[in-house]
C-alpha cells in the first residue's frame, strides 16, 4: 500500500506543477516567456522542455479532449434543462469552443508535460546537460 500513496503523491505533485505552469521536474522554472512563447530549457534545473520534434502534439489532444468534454457536458445541461433557448445555447457553445482552446493552450502543454514526466521520468545528473530516462535510455 505504501507504493499507492507514493504514486498518488507524485501524481498530485505533477498536476500541481502543471497547474502552476512550472517545470515538471523541479517545479521552480517557468514554462512560458509570455502568453504563447515557451522557454526552451528550465531556468532552474536546465531540463530541455521539448524532448523531441513534435513532442507537444500530445498537448493538442489534451486541449481538444478538455474542450470536447466541457462542450458536451454543457450541451447536455442546456438540452435537458432548457434554461436558455437553443439558438443562445448554440452561440454560447460555439464561442466557448473557439475561445477556450486558445486560453487553455498553456495549461494543455503544461499538463501534457506533467503527465509525460510522471509516466516517463527523466533522471538528471546535477551540473550536466545530460538527461536520461528512468529506464536508462538517453532522452532525445
The predicted pLDDT at position 82 comes to: 85
Q: Give the residue from 133, 134, 13, 108 showing the smallest Cα distance to 56.
A: 108
Averages of pLDDT over each 10 residues, the chain, 140 residues? 66 91 92 92 91 92 96 94 91 97 96 91 54 50
What predicted TM-score, i.e. pTM, was given to this entire model? 0.77
| Calpha distance 123→101 (Å, rounded) | 32
The predicted pLDDT at position 120 comes to: 86
Q: Give the residue from 92, 61, 99 showing the smallest Cα distance to 77.
A: 92
3-state SS assignment for residue 25: coil
- CA distance readout (Å), 48 to 28, 38, 39, 51, 125: 14, 11, 9, 7, 13
Q: Which three cell numbers stand for residue 67?
A: 474542450
Contact 23, 32 (CB under 8 A): no
Residue 21, phi-psi category: left (phi > 0), alpha (psi -120 to 50), beta (remainder): left
| Calpha distance 99→77 (Å, rounded) | 20
Contact 133, 123 (CB under 8 A): yes
- Listed in order, strand segments (DSSP E) in the chain are 122-124, 131-133
Amino acid at each position: 500500500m505504501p507504493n499507492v500513496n507514493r504514486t498518488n503523491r507524485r501524481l498530485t505533485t505533477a498536476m500541481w506543477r502543471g497547474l502552476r505552469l512550472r517545470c515538471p521536474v523541479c517545479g521552480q522554472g517557468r514554462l512560458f516567456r509570455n502568453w504563447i512563447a515557451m522557454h526552451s530549457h528550465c531556468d532552474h534545473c536546465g531540463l530541455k522542455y521539448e524532448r523531441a520534434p513534435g513532442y507537444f502534439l500530445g498537448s493538442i489532444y489534451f486541449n481538444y479532449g478538455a474542450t470536447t468534454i466541457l462542450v458536451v457536458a454543457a450541451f447536455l445541461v442546456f438540452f435537458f434543462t432548457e434554461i436558455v433557448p437553443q439558438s443562445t445555447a448554440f452561440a454560447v457553445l460555439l464561442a466557448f469552443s473557439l475561445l477556450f482552446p486558445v486560453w487553455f493552450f498553456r495549461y494543455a502543454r503544461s499538463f501534457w508535460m506533467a503527465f509525460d514526466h510522471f509516466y516517463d521520468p527523466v533522471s538528471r545528473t546535477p551540473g550536466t546537460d545530460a538527461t536520461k530516462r528512468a529506464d536508462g535510455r538517453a532522452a532525445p
